[in-house]
Amino acid sequence: MERTFLMVKPDGVQRNLVGEIVSRFEKKGFKLVGAKLMSVDRALAENHYAEHKERPFFGDLVEFITSSPVFAMVWEGEGVIATARKMMGSTNPADAAPGTIRGDYGVQMSQNIIHGSDSPESAKREINLFFSQDEALTYEKAV
């Protein structure tokens, strides 16, 4: 079954949005298979955001993501990568539709509350970066 990596960023944790965000994905019908509150160190941040290394905002991005804890998650379900991206809304909260997480709670591009993998390749890479094999579980769920 498809899996994706989602992360409530420092602004989302600071603003007490972890429960609300988990709840949205639970209610949608996806299965939570891994989750932890954690600090992101510089090496992990630079690795995670490697594709943005040459962008002018890279330094600020690394600074921000290492500034205070994040809530890292692995979610499972049919089409979860694309559907989670729809539920998150556009990267820039100013463009994100009401009803999406960023549309409802975000204002700034640099503090856009949540990160989600954008493809099966990045989902696999990001899950492996943030979670050891025994931290992402396999279990049956009745509903």
Q: Is 102 annotated as a binding residue?
A: yes
Per CB under 6 A, 112 contacts ligand CMP:
yes
The number of C-alpha atoms within 13 Å of 70 and in the hemisphere containing its C-beta is 25
115 is catalytic: yes
Q: Is 57 in the site for ligand CMP (CB under 6 A)?
A: yes
CA-atom Rg of the chain in angstroms: 14
From candidates 66, 67, 90, 91, binder to ligand CMP by CB under 6 A: 91
Q: b/e map of 28-53 (b: 16 or more CB within 10 Å)?
A: eebbbbbbeeeebeeebbbebbeeee
Query: Which of 3, 31, 48, 115 is labelled catalytic?
Result: 115
115 touches ligand CMP by CB under 6 A: yes
In angstroms, the CA 6 to CA 138 distance is: 17
Q: Should residue 110 be labelled a site residue for ligand CMP when binding is judged by CB under 6 A?
A: yes
Q: Is 91 annotated as a binding residue?
A: yes
- Give the footprint of ligand CMP on this chain (CB under 6 A): 52, 57, 61, 91, 109-110, 112, 115
